[in-house]
Structure 1
Amino acid sequence: MKPILAKAAALANPNRLQILELLEAPSLHFGPGQFDESAGVCGLYISEKLGISAPTASAHLKVLTQAGFLTSLRIGKFTYFKRVPAAMDEFAEEIRKL
């Protein structure tokens, strides 16, 4: 699959779009201790916020990470996620070039 198609497919799910919205400004959506500016937000807190199971959230987070929209950082048994700020702009530019 071409990279642009993988990115478009990653954005074609309401839960994944909501994850991107939540991670755009985590301090607005997660309480104290639920996010770290350098590490990001734990996947468990994301699943709780969305009201979906941890495995389902993990699958969505994996798709977004593989598409380049998120970075992940494993700390102990938990994985933290951050949005890649320029990723959406880069995707929009790829679309404009079509």
Structure 2
Amino acid sequence: LVGGGPGDPDLITVRGRRLLAEADVVIADRLGPRDLLAELPPHVEVVDAAKIPYGRAMAQEAINEALITHARAGKSVVRLKGGDPFVFGRGMEEA
């Protein structure tokens, strides 16, 4: 579970950037810095969880299931969220 910080990709933690670079799958919200997704290697599968208020969004159960399914398949999975996922999101549920 990686928080993208306040929006500037230079402000993500060093560990968060390393985990993204090592990921096989990234499940990202629209609030996660899009520039970070552009830096991913071409083999990385990006799953768009959207989370658009009053709009398109992947159901929380589907997000949780995708995290589990990919991890059980032996893949390195990163859940990329905007801001601090434990303050502004459902970090405890997804961790």
Normalised by the size of structure 2, how large is the TM-score? 0.25
Q: Which structure is larger by alpha-carbon Rg, 1 or 2?
A: 1
TM-score by length of 1: 0.25
Q: 1 or 2 for the larger relative contact order (CA 8 Å, sep ≥6)?
A: 2
